[in-house]
Structure 1
Amino acid sequence: MRLQLLVNLAFTALVFVHAAPISHAEIKTKSAQGLRLLSLGEDVEPVWKTEDEKLDLMRSGVKFFDVTEVYEAEQQSSQRVSVAAAFPTPSHQTQVKAILSTLSTANMQSNLAKLTAFNNRYYKSTTGADASAWILSTIKSIASSRSDISVAPFAHSWTQSSVIAKIPGTTASTPVTILGAHMDSINLNSPTSGRAPGADDDGTGTVNLIEAFRALVAAGFKPSTPVEFHWYSGEEAGLLGSQAIATSYKNAGTKVKAFMELDMSGYFKPGTTEVMALEADYIDASLNTFLKSLITTYSRIGWTMDTPCGYACSDHASWYKAGFPSSFPYEAVTGNDDPNIHSASDTTSVSGFSWAHSLEFAKIAVAFVYELAI
């Protein structure tokens, strides 16, 4: 999920800049021809690429937003508007720690075994759609005792749906606090049919959120302001699912208090110090300060700042682009993270994978929504 920043900058420098916004007719015509509209950098007009060219960029480590589906919607409010937000000091330790004690690595292992059993979770594959259906069914089952909680797919133009679970606020309908992870996986050598267990990328973030959701529901969590859990489709293909949802929230005028992404939480390089690495770009600085306080209060491991994640690094960037406060705690500093992603080797059996490490991210997910929304 990481960005090779210098490679991205090199590609960005070669992009032809359009003199005017891309028309609806052009989008319709070129989309029908199988072309994709990619944004390779800030303040640079997107460019059309074939699916093969898009895959070549991915194999080269270039990150991008695939804006084919959202370009026109984004033009409705093209300027990024951010609202300064204040975040609290953690003050519900007794209640939060009681919930944290119920988190189970056994549950996460069981759920990840089911996710990795799919040949891959590619956003265009049948097994990717099957994985989405499994997540939807699992979350509905967890929420079945709570008539106030809604769980639904968020359909896209491609095969795999995203999934959204909503816990309403008891005193207000906004702003919403959101946790996100991406459900899809990819084998860059053979995206549609290649084996891509995606255990760490992003099976770990996916099951962290499932377990955090289970623990909160079991505890009878009823926040004052709403909380949502999102499992995104198509992250590996240009942040497709998160862009669609973040853009729809922006254009609907939905107020978002904070967003946090969990994308890879299970690995740190053997022999290195175990930390949570906080991304330093495309995030809200005040929210990062709050996140540091959560880690200090609720995690057994410390935090450190990572090197810049770069453009379109993960789903938090979709929410940042839409003007919402976002954050992204990562499994390790760049270079100490999992080298096995995007291949058949992304499994829990690799040296460096740790369920105890991943559990710390599930803890922070619970603390994040409780402290912000209770």
Structure 2
Amino acid sequence: MSDNLTTFLLQSLLPLPIIAGAPPDVHLSLKTFTHEFPHISVIARFEPTRRSRPNHAIEMPVIILGSYLDSANYESPLLPAPDADGSGSGTVTILKAFRALVQAGCRPEVPVEFHWYATKEGGLLGSQDIVSEYVYQRRDIGAMIQFDMTAYVHKDTTPTMTFITNNVDTPLTNWTIKFATEYSSSPVTGCSQVVSPTTFRGAMLASQWYVRTPNPYIHTVDDRTVVMEGEFSFAYAFKFAKVAVGFAVELGGWDG
């Protein structure tokens, strides 16, 4: 699914109105990040305004919002891996947030980047490469949040936004949990998990997969937008997109 999702993403960002239709005073850049493996990662960036960046020789701290592009079928690598919630929901969540910010004329005071990482299922390989590049360039990272599995709601349960609380930046995560309650009507909670969710140390956001009612279809042929024991909810994913917008604006600023 990785190649199909990457193609969809680039087609959404480039020829369609997201970037092509951006207001003239919104400064954007888009690049693909190549790896030694076949898949590519994608980075879209809001450049800070000139007024907020008087000296272009000084690197400003970057605010990053991320998600994954790849998928895998854990039952068999030969079977399809649609991964509608596993990677598709996070990808679309931050894409929707990016589009909303573009249409609103976002002009941040510091750079705000949206990252779509390749080959997470191989061991966070795409994000590791980008982190290594940023470390080599001595890039200053202000804050990072990762969106993953944001659409599945188990039947007869209350949708709950869940922040991962281990292997992350604790002060940033606590702050994000607090502000998320102002941007979303859903309950917000935190929990820990065994595997580190992202290579950057930032706040990690997920859906009910990490609570008591995980999506039973993750990494199977049945991880689709129509499921039996629950609901693939675009409305639920939209709530995560609102939090993504809030994260970008609260930390990236708005030079208006």
Per the normalisation by structure 1, the TM-score is 0.61
Structure 1 equivalent of residue 252 of structure 2: 373
- RCO greater where, 1 or 2, for CA within 8 Å and sep 6 or more? 2
How much does 1:136 deviate? 1.7
Structure-2 change in CA distance of 1:145 and 1:356 (3 Å): closer
How much does 1:131 deviate? 3.0
Match of 1:352 among 211, 230, 237: 230
How much does 1:130 deviate? 4.1
Q: Does residue 301 of the first structure (1) align with residue 186 of the second (2)?
A: yes
In structure 2, stretches of 5+ residues that fail to align are: 54-58
Structure 2 equivalent of residue 81 of structure 1: none
Structure 2 equivalent of residue 144 of structure 1: 20
Structure 2 CA distance for aligned equivalents of residues 345 and 134 of structure 1: 21
Q: Does residue 183 of the first structure (1) align with residue 69 of the second (2)?
A: yes
Superposition map of 1:84-103 within 5 A: none
Superposition map of 1:327-342 within 5 A: 327-332=203-208, 333-342=210-219
Give deviations 1:310-329, integer Å, cap 9, x for gaps: 233x22xx012xxxxx0112
How much does 1:132 deviate? 1.6
Report how many aligned residue pairs link the two structures.
238
Secondary structure of 1:165's aligned partner: strand
Structure 1 equivalent of residue 56 of structure 2: none
Match of 2:9 among 126, 135, 154: 135
Structure-2 change in CA distance of 1:169 and 1:359 (3 Å): same
How much does 1:234 deviate? 0.2
RMSD: 1.5
Give deviations 1:111-164, integer Å, cap 9, x for gaps: xxxxxxxxxx1xxxxxx3343233123112311234721111100111110000
> Where does structure 1 differ by over 3 angstroms across 4 or more consecutive aligned residues?
none
Structure 1 CA distance for aligned equivalents of residues 175 and 157 of structure 2: 25
Secondary structure of 2:67's aligned partner: strand
Secondary structure of 1:257's aligned partner: strand
Match of 1:247 among 109, 132, 136: 132
Q: Does residue 258 of the first structure (1) align with residue 143 of the second (2)?
A: yes
Superposition map of 1:9-48 within 5 A: none
Q: Does residue 194 of the first structure (1) align with residue 79 of the second (2)?
A: yes
Structure 2 equivalent of residue 5 of structure 1: none
Secondary structure of 1:278's aligned partner: strand
Q: Which amino acid aligns with 2:68?
A: H
Q: Which amino acid aligns with 2:88?
A: G
Secondary structure of 1:357's aligned partner: helix
Structure 1 CA distance for aligned equivalents of residues 6 and 150 of structure 2: 20
Structure 1 CA distance for aligned equivalents of residues 65 and 145 of structure 2: 5
* Rg larger for: 1
Structure-2 change in CA distance of 1:226 and 1:279 (3 Å): same
Secondary structure of 2:145's aligned partner: strand
In structure 1, stretches of 5+ residues that fail to align are: 1-120, 122-127, 321-325
Match of 1:311 among 168, 189, 195: 195
Structure 1 CA distance for aligned equivalents of residues 89 and 214 of structure 2: 13
User: Which protein has the bigger strand share?
Assistant: 2
Secondary structure of 1:288's aligned partner: helix
Structure 1 equivalent of residue 46 of structure 2: 167
User: Which protein has the bigger helix share?
Assistant: 1
How much does 1:246 deviate? 1.2
Structure 1 CA distance for aligned equivalents of residues 8 and 206 of structure 2: 25
Secondary structure of 1:162's aligned partner: strand
Give deviations 1:143-192, integer Å, cap 9, x for gaps: 1234721111100111110000011111235101000000111112332x
Q: Which amino acid aligns with 1:310?
A: V
Q: Which amino acid aligns with 1:329?
A: L
Structure 1 CA distance for aligned equivalents of residues 75 and 162 of structure 2: 29
CA contact (8 A) 2:5 2:88 kept: no
Structure 2 CA distance for aligned equivalents of residues 162 and 264 of structure 1: 18
Give deviations 1:334-356, integer Å, cap 9, x for gaps: 33121111110101211322222
Q: Which amino acid aligns with 2:65?
A: L
Per the normalisation by structure 2, the TM-score is 0.88
